[in-house]
Structure 1
Amino acid sequence: MSFSADWLSLREPADRAARDDVLLHRAAAAAGPAPVILDLGCGSGSTVRTMAPYLPEGTRWRLVDNDPELLDLAKAAAGPRAETFCTDIADLDALPLDGVTLVTASALFDLVPETWVRDLASRLGVPLYAALSYDGAMRWTLEDPRDAAVTDAFNRHQRGDKGLGPALGPDAVTRSVAVLRDAGFEVSQADSRWRLGPDAAPLQRMLVEGIARAAGEAGMPEADDWGALRIERSTETTCLIGHGDILAVPRGTPKEERHALR
């Protein structure tokens, strides 16, 4: 699993606008007074840049990705104290969890299988902030009669193997919440849907290209025609793409720390 720097840069403002502010602030508080944050699938450092204003000076980041070029960008965002780990998140035993106070991930949990979430949860004794997981919902205005069929095909594709086994795809939020609760976490969730208007036409166009390609691979014969029309209409279209944020805190967190998370 890897994504281009261009795509990550284009989507970052939409991600930041979509994140639930309450959960973002609570996640920053959950990292504690001397944060050591492990960011899984860090990409170019979007989570670092988003959380930085809410974290104390001296926050230390451990950045994990399998793309060395993206790791360099993320390290530049996180500062000289950041550590980078060029490794695949499939190897949970290799994750540098010792001393970590918060684990973060963005736009990741929809790409992994439920077994991976369960195995990660079994290793964690600290809070987890997993933001911007796709939840299967798409709505477009102007509407097209093929929208529902394309969404269904895209969602089938999202449940395919992204390198770790059959992905949670549009079930990522609901299943991850259930797994984390079963593992002994108190879990809060919030909506973080994208709202992309004509001002986000370049992002819409790149998004539509990916949706149409995936829907076609999943057997939707009209996906290319749908995509061409959506791209043509991007300067007059608004779309809502569903995502969800999760904050999971281990049960038994001391009362004084729990108060800081409210």
Structure 2
Amino acid sequence: MSGFDKTWLSLREPADRAARNSDLVHKLCNHLTSQIGERQSCTDKVTWVADLGCGSGATWRALASDLPQDSHWLLMDNDAALLVEAEMRIGARGRITTCQQDLNAIEDVDLCDVSLVTASAFFDLCSEGFCSRLIDHIRPQGCGLYAALNYNGIMEWSVPHELDAAVVDDFNRHQRTDKGFGPALGPAASAFLAEGLRARGYEVTLEDSPWTLDAEHAELQSRFLDGFRQPLLEIGTLSATEIERWLAFRVAAISRPDSSCVVGHTDLLALHD
């Protein structure tokens, strides 16, 4: 993982950053600040943040200015080119280490000294089995989890079309297909993680983090809509003609002053004593 091109990741990064729930980020920062204070009083160990499926480093860029400056980051992805991109874009500003890693083998990820595991727009692509194995791996290590921007199945447009409900239903069905980690949880990811984490003694907080897109996000909306075609064709409920008609309507509506799109996401923070 990630399998996404850097152009798409760059396009979505501003929308992701605006969508992140600020209350959850504040709670996370307070937690890590207190942990660093405890570590410095009793040990010389540093606080590590492990970022799964890091892509070009967007999670670091979103959080680094708010998190304690003594935080060190381990950025993991299976895409070597994206890791190079992350190193280039972050440069000397961050205390980072990059690691090319097949995240399917999550049990092999070394979490020694890691205080927090993060992932953004990731767990909705993962299976129940993967998420359960991750929880089983992080709990004995004492790691918290910050899982941001998990798609939750909500898509709404201010300018309606008769096929909107059918499109969203088919898209959400496709989100449950295998994305590289087994049959994906899709919109159910945050709820599944929350249940599993609470069962292992975590305090879990869930908050909404929706994209709100208008004409200023025209290029992102266009690329986003283009990504519907293949999933809708694969599900097969709608004909190719209906799909193209819906896409043409949606693309044309992007520039309308009364047009906006909300894409629902959920942020999750799981901590324990």
Which letter maps to 2:62?
Answer: T
Aligned residues: 251
Note the C-alpha offset of 1:83: 1.3
**CA, structure 1 residues 113+92, in 2 after alignment: closer, same or farther (shift >3 Å)?**
same
Task: Report SS of the residue matched to 1:54.
Answer: coil
Between the aligned partners of 2:207 and 2:229, the Cα distance in structure 1 is 28
Shift of 1:69: 1.2
Trace 1:43-62 onto structure 2 (pairs within 5 A).
Answer: 43-62=55-74
Q: Is the 8 A contact 2:49 2:118 kept in 1?
A: yes
Alpha-carbon RMSD: 1.4
Establish whether residue 9 from structure 1 lines up as the match of residue 1 from structure 2: no
- Note the 1:165-176 alignment, pairs <5 A: 165-176=182-193
Q: 1:191 aligns with which of 201, 204, 208?
A: 208
Larger radius of gyration: 2
The aligned residue for residue 256 of structure 1 is none
Q: Is the 8 A contact 2:77 2:103 kept in 1?
A: yes
Aligned to 2:143: 126
SS in 2 for 1:128: strand
Deviation of the 1:42 alpha carbon: 0.2
Shift of 1:82: 1.4
Q: Which residue number corresponds to residue 152 of structure 2? A: 135
Give, in angstroms, the shift of residue 77 of structure 1.
Answer: 4.2
Check if 1:226 corresponds to 2:226: no
1:244 equivalent in alignment to 2:266:
yes
How many Å separate the matches in 2 of 1:3 and 1:44?
Answer: 10
Give 5+ residue unaligned stretches, structure 1.
254-262
Unaligned runs of 5+ in 2: 37-45
The CA deviation string for residues 213-253 of structure 1, in whole angstroms up to 9 with x for no partner, is 21222112222321122112211220000100000012xx1
Q: Deviations over 1:148-199 (max 9, x none)?
A: 0000000010000011110000111111111111122110000001100111
> Partner letter of residue 44 of structure 1?
S
What is the CA deviation profile of residues 23-70 of structure 1, one whole-angstrom value per residue up to 9, with x for unaligned ones?
Answer: 112223333324310000001111000001112324211011011111
What SS does the aligned partner of 1:36 have? strand
Distance in structure 2 (CA, Å) of the matches to 1:115 and 1:186 = 21
Alignment of 1:104 onto 2:118 = yes
TM-score of the two chains, using structure 2 as the length reference: 0.88
Secondary structure at the aligned position of 2:103 is classed as: coil
Task: Assess if the C-alpha contact under 8 Å between 1:194 and 1:241 holds in 2.
Answer: yes
- Does the 8 Å CA contact 1:20/1:245 hold for their aligned counterparts? yes
Change (3 A) 1:115 1:35: same
Please tell me whether the aligned partners of residues 118 and 179 of structure 1 are also in contact (alpha carbons under 8 angstroms).
yes
Q: 2:87 matched to 1:75?
A: yes
Check the 8 A contact 1:48/1:74 in 2, yes or no: no
